[in-house]
Structure 1
Amino acid sequence: MTSVKQFQVTFDCAEPERVAAFWCEVLGYVTPPDDKNAAVDPDGVGPRLYFQRVPEGKVVKNRVHLDVRVGTGLVGEERLAALEAECARLIPLGATRYQLLLADEENESCLVMQDIEGNEFCLD
């Protein structure tokens, strides 16, 4: 049986090139010269992101979302400071702050945000 080694994450959106450019800035990805609707990791480590135009707008919460790992290994105030710093960097790019989820018995703090078309993602 063959095992899958690579995958692509696909976003439905109204403006693929604009959303691709946003995610390139968020993740440090680049737009490949042959596909302005995609974002790829220049180091070839992270998954390829693809943005496809759809006619309908976003209606409900995402069932799948990206976690942007900016606080890995950090806890408490140090983690919150890293999340807030990244949030401050992303807001001028068009992201929206949605909800801060504070640490509990099971999870560390994370910050829920939305991209320029309202897709949720977490600063984790």
Structure 2
Amino acid sequence: MARETQVTFDCADPAALAAFWAEALGYQLQDPPGNYSTWDEALDAMGVPPERRNDASAIVDPDGARPRLFFQRVPEPKQAKNRVHLDVRAAPGLTGGERMTALEAEAERLVSHGATRIRRHEPAPPLGAGHIVMADPEGNEFCLD
């Protein structure tokens, strides 16, 4: 039986967090359903009041190969370190200084979009290629790998 995977984020501001992760991963906002040209049009037709329009958001891979990411508003703030996190593969095939330079450039780009840099792990061959731990605008940890 075929299965699809969706990654769900609990958050305070679904639209803002979806925009950040779309930028980080090269995703796009999921198109509105049916024949609606905008989400506002679709939500109007569904009877969703304006104050509930940022209760959820979703982004998708434009090529359809990677999982959908869903963002849902929850009342409680993040309280502890994530037990599961995303690794953003920003330097595939690169090693050593070239790898870390590429990771630093991506870290700088994502900081300009609201991410926070947490720490850098230097390469430690043979198994440690080096990575940078980051947090998204709501504090969810992820790695630039």
The match for 1:58 is 78
Number of equivalent positions: 122
The match for 2:9 is 11
Larger radius of gyration: 2
The one-character-per-residue Cα deviations of 1:42-100 (angstroms, maximum 9, x if unpaired) are 01011100001111101110011111101111111001100001011111100000010
TM-score (norm: length of structure 1): 0.93
Aligned to 1:93, the other structure's residue is in SS state: coil
Larger mean CA deviation between 15-24 and 31-40 belongs to 31-40
The Cα of 1:3 is off from its aligned counterpart by 4.4
Q: Percent identity?
A: 56
The Cα of 1:106 is off from its aligned counterpart by 2.0
The match for 1:74 is 94
TM-score (norm: length of structure 2): 0.80
Compute the RMSD of aligned alpha carbons: 1.3
The match for 1:96 is 116
Equivalent-residue separation in structure 1 for 2:10 and 2:144 (angstroms): 21
The match for 2:132 is 111
Structure 2 unaligned runs (5+)? 33-38, 40-55
The match for 1:33 is 31
The match for 2:142 is 121
